[in-house]
Chain A
Amino acid sequence: MEDKLVIGGRELRSRLFIGTGKFSSNEIIPSIVKSAEAQVITVALRRIDFESKDENILNYIPDDCIIMPNTSGARNADEAIRIARLARAAGCGNWIKIEVVSDNRYLMPDNIETIRATEVLAKEGFVVLPYMSPDLMAAKRLKDAGAAAVMPLGAPIGTNRGLRTKELVKILINEIDLPIIVDAGLGKPSEAAEAMELGAGAVLVNTAIATAGDPVKMAKAFSLAVKAGRMAYFSGTGTVKEYAEASSPLTGFLLDK
């Protein structure tokens, strides 16, 4: 059986999604995408300069990729909805990553506004991928609202801290019948592998690749890690024992005749 990720009716072969906001140049994007073997690329609508040939980031994204515009800069549901509509009207397709952030200190997503925006946009036919704080009830509501996947943060965005929300993400993976895509905070390939081993559907990475000494090589490393993590998930990882096993079993006496 081929292991394909299906989102919004599209079969995806790559489980590594790439963010584009922090690279040192647009020109580097094609080689990043290639070495990451990425298919889904997120771009902030606020950054797309449709009128400039050189500066328009879309001109640097390979044609066979899915562009997932995001609503970066939205401070409430209404702004996110307006940005999503503008993106679609501008020809960016019908995928939308909802980001509603009303906190500039930590850039934490606003789950309530995100749910509101998801409800509206899913009804309008968007394939909605909401970025959220990993909360089970919020994730359930996002699913009910029509989200195509749920994107919990691994750690505050841009921190490269790794999968700090592991326990909460695990619950989402167990309970939400949608792909769970860990977005934000993953700083190292091993952390991406960790998320995939848990059963995450995919991961989204930008800062860790963009701020690496060699971003193209780091993209490759993340790609390999995501594949390894996925393979491990299917192979069934061994249980980690927290206590030593007593050499004479504690309940051994029950077997005594």
Chain B
Amino acid sequence: MEMVTELYIELQYINYEEVWHMSFYGKYMEYRGFDFDGFFNGVKDLDIQKALNKECIDEMDYLALLSPVAEKCLEQMAVKAQQLTFWNFGKVIFLFTPLYLSNYCTNKCVYCGFNVTNDIKRSKLTLAEVEQEAEAISRTGIRHILILTGESRKESPVSYIKECVYVLKKYFSSISIEVYPLEEQEYAELVKAGVDGFTMFQEVYNEELYPQLHMGGPKSNYCYRLDAPERACRAYMRTVNIGSLLGLDEWRRESFFTGLHADYLQGNYPDIEISVSFPRIRPSAGCFKPKYQVTDKNLVQAMLALRIFMPRVGITLSTRENAKLRDNLIGLGVTKMSAGSSTAVGGYSNKNKSEGQFDISDERSVEEIKQLIRSKGYQPVFKDWQQI
């Protein structure tokens, strides 16, 4: 009993601020209980104008730009965001293609086609197949590749990912990973093997909602996933890309936390290039219906607000979005686009490809995307890094 009391006393003296000091979770907790609806209701037109006239905006300005009131000023926001993007990135759009290595997964994410309970064809590329896929993709001119796996340490362990990287290095000048959360040491191993980019979406920042959407598997550990981008930064990745899956929760808050997370990482790891994706839920096996609507207008607002909050952050746009919207988003802050994508394992060279993680929307080829970007007065950039 005495021991228990001692433990209790000790626990009381734990400085939580210190514990959370090196995690975005601490920042997230600052907003626990924050009255978002109250804040949004209190935003006035003048607040938006003030924010737009500032050279650097703070967190509250950012949140104001995400408010319903700011929708009236979307055009002004777009003008500012476009200017900032011009100055910081020039008239260029970086291109990459995703490559799915394996769709084995132990998680039960209700919105994902790879959910372990979905009866889909499971497969994993052999190294020879990785080579075939690499050849097919590199023929399109693509030099940056993003490799993806489901979460299965058994089927797609770090050693397997590393072997794939060795094959892919021959074909691509930059290799990024979008796999399950790893330990810092494992990220460092992959960096050493030739990986320079990291992508992971928290999916949903709302900690209460998270367990309802991630019902089982290692991914149900909210904090372990939340801290993964930071572990990747510590392992000295070159680029770290984060995001939340829009539609799982109210997008204004989720975008806000995504922006805060990006800002937190950039502030603590200034030598890492931070970028953000704004993925919206797409139809997939399992037929999940998102609870929240995220319109094109909402998506644009989220992007513009982030660009104004973080003028130098990269913004990635995938083929989840349709061709028309993607065409129009060029020039509004987007810096990186995927092209010619398939979300199926073996989707580029293999006739017996498996089912995709989700249905893509923009099915145009790399060549078509390249011509489109040019027609918009931008330069499609295939190579923006190389192994050094």
A251 within 8 A of B: no
**Complex Cα distance A241/B274, Å?**
48
* A102 lies within 8 A of B270 (CB): yes
Return the chain A residue nearest B376 by Cβ.
A24
Looking at B238, B385, B386, the one whose CB has the most chain A CB atoms below 10 A away is B386
| One of A25, A73, A75 near B385 (C-beta < 8 A) | A73
* B379 lies within 8 A of A211 (CB): no
| One of B141, B271, B374, B388 near A83 (C-beta < 8 A) | B388
One of A48-56, A162-170, A229-237 at the interface: A48-56
Count of A interface residues, CB-CB < 8 Å: 33
Known: A49-B143, A73-B385, A158-B88. A103 touches B379 (CB 8 A): no
**Complex Cα distance A52/B312, Å?**
28
**How distant is A114 from chain B, measured CB to nearest CB, in Å?**
14
* A103 lies within 8 A of B388 (CB): no
Known: A22-B89, A22-B91, A158-B87. A104 touches B381 (CB 8 A): no
Return the chain A residue nearest B174 by Cβ.
A46
* A23 lies within 8 A of B91 (CB): yes
* B382 lies within 8 A of A104 (CB): no
* B272 lies within 8 A of A104 (CB): yes
Task: Tell me the interface secondary structure of chain B in the complex.
Answer: loop
Contact residues, A44-89 vs B (CB, 8 A): 45-49, 52, 54-55, 73, 75, 79, 82-83, 86
**Chain B residues whose CB sits within 8 angstroms of the CB of A14 once the complex forms:** none
| B166-203 interface code vs A (CB 8 A; 1 in, 0 out) | 00000001000000000000000000000000000000
A111 within 8 A of B: no
A190 within 8 A of B: no
Contact residues, B363-388 vs A (CB, 8 A): 374, 377-379, 381-386, 388
**Complex Cα distance A200/B179, Å?**
50
Looking at B89, B173, B385, B388, the one whose CB has the most chain A CB atoms below 10 A away is B388
**Chain A residues whose CB sits within 8 angstroms of the CB of B86 once the complex forms:** 22, 211
B266 within 8 A of A: yes
* A24 lies within 8 A of B379 (CB): yes
**Chain A residues whose CB sits within 8 angstroms of the CB of B374 once the complex forms:** 25
**How distant is A50 from chain B, measured CB to nearest CB, in Å?**
9
* A49 lies within 8 A of B383 (CB): yes
**Complex Cα distance A207/B388, Å?**
26
* B383 lies within 8 A of A46 (CB): yes
**How distant is A125 from chain B, measured CB to nearest CB, in Å?**
20
| One of B89, B238, B266, B381 near A105 (C-beta < 8 A) | B266
**Chain B residues whose CB sits within 8 angstroms of the CB of A35 once the complex forms:** none
**Complex Cα distance A16/B16, Å?**
55
Known: A24-B91, A24-B377, A158-B88. A46 touches B386 (CB 8 A): yes
* A49 lies within 8 A of B270 (CB): no
Instruction: Report A's interface with B, CB cutoff 8 A.
Output: 21-26, 45-49, 52, 54-55, 73, 75, 79, 82-83, 86, 101-105, 107, 158-160, 206-207, 210-211
Could you list some 19 contacts between A and B, CB below 8 A? A21-B92, A22-B86, A22-B89, A22-B91, A26-B379, A47-B383, A52-B383, A55-B382, A55-B383, A75-B271, A79-B388, A101-B271, A103-B270, A103-B271, A105-B270, A158-B87, A159-B87, A211-B90, A211-B91
